[in-house]
Amino acid sequence: LKKIAIAIKEENILSFFQPIINNKTLKCEKFESLVRLKENDKIYSPFFFLDIAKKAGLYPDISKIVLKQSIECVKNCNVSVNINFSPYDMTNNQ
């Protein structure tokens, strides 16, 4: 839990952008934003931190970071980005 809070504070919650390829044309059509946590030189998938963040009330902070980083990607790179938000994200007022 402490590592997650530190990662949020130190801006070490990162969005990795995975290309989504059209199977017919084999061209990249858009990207999917995938959240990761960076600690020192290690990168952790959400499997290792997202459920803990939800239970501790830190999940909305992570969602905001992913949204902000994804918007920056769209603005700077002029690409479409998909974000996997949960129903909780859509109804949370934080």
**CB neighbours of 94 closer than 8 A, spacing ≥ 6?**
60, 64
Alpha helices in the chain (DSSP H): 2-9, 50-56, 59-77, 87-91
H or E stretch including 18? strand 13-21
Indicate the pTM of the whole model: 0.87
Mean pLDDT across 39-44: 96
What's the pLDDT score for residue 91?
Answer: 79
Nearest to 4 by CA among 41, 55, 76, 70: 55
Q: Work out the pLDDT band at 36, boundaries 50, 70, 90.
A: very high
In whole angstroms, what separates CA 25 from the centre of its chain? 27
The pLDDT score that the predictor gives to residue 85 is 84
